[in-house]
Amino acid sequence: MGMALAGLILLGVAAPPATADDTVELSVDASKTGAKIDRNIFGQFAEHLGHGIYGGIWVGPDSKIPNTRGIRNDVVAALKALKVPNVRWPGGCFADEYHWRQGIGPADQRAVTLNPNWGGVVEPNTFGVDEFMDFLGQIGSEPYLSVNVGSGTPREAAEWLEYMTAAQPTTLAQERAANGHPDPYEVPYLGIGNESWDCGGNMSPDYYLSQLKIYARFVRNFNPAQQEGDRRMLRVAVGPGGDGPRWTDWTETIMKGWQGHSWSWDMEGLSMHSYTVVQWPPAYASVGFGEREYSEILKSTLDMDQLIATHSAIMDKYDPDKKIALVVDEWGAWYAPLPGSNPGFLVQQNSQRDAVLAALNLNIFARHADRVRGANIAQMVNVLQAMIMTDEAKMVLTPTYYVFKMYVPFQDATFVPVSFDAGSYTYGDVTLPRVDAIAAKGMDGKLWLAVTNVDPHQPATIEVGVAGVTAHTASGETLTAPKVDSVNSFEAPDTVVPKPISASVQDGKLALTVAPKSVTVLSVE
């Protein structure tokens, strides 16, 4: 369902499509609340891939780049501001070749291995389990571990979890203590394999279901104290990777298998991967593109809505109470590698187009908040649609970073329906909803509104009728850029940065004009 349609259905009336000059009328009724927008939809993904970990997060304790126990201070400070709820690690495809024991203990005694998925480079294993947990402690986040189903064993994965969670003095818990962490770690999110239909082992849905039952049985949280109240480990099964019968069959098989599950195994989430790519292998340039590529990429990204609807409908058949979360644990734009970069490192630029793309996807997740309770953008640093790019000691924050920062108030906020006629923006044979908007009641008690103007030429005048709260002021930040492919570079890091914006408020109604190709987040008080 397109966003324009979504707006009309909420209104319950048919309205003629808006033209570019029309004011967009938004109605927000704060007394009508929906599902909680789980903070975990703002999750991140950090794989051992290119400079995603080495150089991007980990520089080692002896580096001249300022670091704390080997972890870059500048990257940590930037990520802290995003309140990253969870980080999915160590992959991706890498996860199904990762053997966790090679990444623990004294650094100089660790195995040096290879990373055949991503450029065949040497994997020094100097960033391992304890370094990952240290990194999470520094940024204030939680682990979403992907265990190795493809080339590992249930025993290896179970021992990893014992190393992490056991409180009693087992040999593995003592090993953890000897490695500097006497207290058990918590593992709130556990991925059982990655893309097991492809790089994770080319399994059929039935074969994977058998593996899932074994892993979900034996790979436990070994710490009863971590299972009290709401605290438990959410197990996420491998889910679909697209649309069409192959993928709906996958979702059917896993959900049907779960519906008939016995006391001895269970799962709490089903993953879904969906990249915005248009053409495979990725061919669209991440910088130096024009309006055609802007409109085509954004059209493609909006398919996320239908994809979620399709797989949610299957999940509803087997799980009408929505116990199982849909976790979109890999999403984002995947472009052609930057010229001159190692193609196995998935290096791409990040432009204002990506900021708009990120906001549109976050809005889709928020509208499906009753089922989508986790998502992880790919990836965190230096890889694909990254938050942060680094080059040796230099660091730059991307337009996508700023969208995640502006959306922090939506973490664990309560969805508030917004009705509007989005109008349309057309380029060639591509027509898109011109604006998009979501609203939510934040944990801070404020009403928050996010408005995206997709049109790269026309500003949009927005009028917001607010019911359910009395609006006195509305202010926040807006992110736009000179061109659709404007980026932040090491030389010019502030080309795309948020600027303050406020709406005029009269008789409880807000009015503001948002710039072309912009993302705006406001609080209404």
- Name the active-site residue from 131, 159, 268, 330: 330
The phi, psi pair for 68, rounded to 5°, reads -120, 115
> Smallest distance from the beta carbon of 273 to ligand AHR, in angstroms?
6
The contact mask relative to ligand AHR for 214-253 (x = CB under 6 A, - = no) is ----------------------------------------
Stretch that binds ligand AHR, among 2-10, 91-99, 301-309, 443-451 (CB under 6 A): 91-99
| Shortest separation between residue 22's beta carbon and ligand AHR, angstroms | 40
CB of 275 to ligand AHR, least distance (A): 7
Q: Considering beta carbons, is residue 272 or 384 the nearer one to ligand AHR? A: 384
Among 92, 282, 423, 498, binds ligand AHR (CB under 6 A): 92
Nearest approach, Cβ of residue 52 and ligand AHR (Å): 9
Is 491 catalytic? The answer is no
337: its two tokens:
């590698």
- Please, which residue, 194 or 352, has the CB nearer to ligand AHR? 194
Residue nearest to ligand AHR (CB): 92
Identify which of residues 46 and 469 has a Cβ nearer to ligand AHR in the complex: 46
Contacting ligand AHR (CB under 6 A), which of 85, 91, 191, 476?
Answer: 91
CB-nearer residue toward ligand AHR: 56 or 91: 91
Strand-pair partners of 524:
447, 474
Which x/- pattern over 361-380 shows residues binding ligand AHR (rule: CB under 6 A)?
A: -----------------xx-
275-278-284 Cα angle (round to 5):
100
| Cβ pair 47, 332 in contact under 8 A | no
Residue from 93, 324, 514, 515 that binds ligand AHR (CB under 6 A)? 93
Least gap, CB of 333 to ligand AHR (angstroms)? 11
For the bound state, the minimum distance from the C-beta of residue 347 to ligand AHR, rounded and expressed in Å, comes to: 12
Taking CB under 6 A as the binding criterion, the range among 89-97, 218-226, 293-301, 360-368 that sits at the site for ligand AHR is 89-97
> Which residue type, as a one-letter code, is found at position 93?
C
Which CB sits closer to ligand AHR, 197 or 425?
Answer: 197
Residues in contact with 81: Cβ distance below 8 Å, sequence separation at least 6, in sequence order: 405
Q: Which is nearer to ligand AHR, 92 or 409 (CB)?
A: 92
Here the tokens at position 346 are: 């998935």
Q: Is 143 or 200 the residue whose CB approaches ligand AHR more closely?
A: 200
142 in catalytic set? no
The rounded distance, in Å, linking the Cα atoms of 345 and 48 is 10
The interface mask with ligand AHR, positions 305-344, x = CB under 6 A, is -------------------------x--------------
For the stretch 232-263, what's the b/e string if a residue is b when 16 or more beta carbons lie within 10 angstroms of its beta carbon?
ebbbbbbbbbbeeeebbebbbbbbebbeeeee
The residues in 185-204 that bind ligand AHR, with binding defined as CB under 6 A, are: 194-195
Cα distance between residue 375 and residue 372, in whole Å: 8
Choosing from 195, 252, 293, 296, the catalytic residue is 195
Burial of 416 per CB tally in 10 Å (0-12, 13-18, 19+): buried
- Structure tokens, 51: 């400079």
Report the C-alpha gap between 63 and 72 in whole angstroms.
9
Ranges of beta strands (E only) in 434-517 are: 435-441, 447-453, 460-467, 474-479, 499-506, 509-514
- Say if CB 122 and CB 114 are below 8 A apart: yes
The residue among 304 and 406 lying less far from ligand AHR, judged by its C-beta, is 304
- Looking only at residues 14 through 73 of this chain, which bind ligand AHR when binding is defined by CB under 6 A? 47
Pick the stretch among 90-98, 289-297, 305-313, 498-506 that binds ligand AHR (CB under 6 A). Answer: 90-98
349 counts as binding ligand AHR under rule CB under 6 A: no
Helix (H) or strand (E) holding 376: strand 372-378
Q: Smaller CB distance to ligand AHR: residue 293 or 330?
A: 330
1 SS3 class: coil
CA angle 372, 216, 259 (to 5 degrees): 60
State how far the Cα of 112 lies from the Cα of 306, in Å rounded to an integer: 44
SS3 annotation, 49-89: CCCCCECCCECCCCCCCCEECCEEHHHHHHHHCCCCCEEEE
Judge residue 366's burial from the number of C-beta atoms within 10 Å of its C-beta, 0-12 exposed, 13-18 middle, 19 or more buried: buried
Task: Report the nearest approach of ligand AHR to the CB of residue 198 (Å).
Answer: 7
Report whether 366 contacts 461 (CB < 8 A).
no
Size of the site for ligand AHR (CB under 6 A): 10
For 280, counting Cβ atoms within 10 Å of its Cβ (0-12 exposed, 13-18 middle, 19+ buried), the class is exposed
Give the nearer residue to ligand AHR in terms of CB position, either 379 or 488.
379
**Residues in Cβ contact with 217 at an 8 Å cutoff, skipping those fewer than 6 apart:** 154, 264, 265
Positions marked catalytic? 195, 330
Residue ranges that bind ligand AHR, judged by CB under 6 A: 47, 91-93, 194-195, 330, 378-379, 384
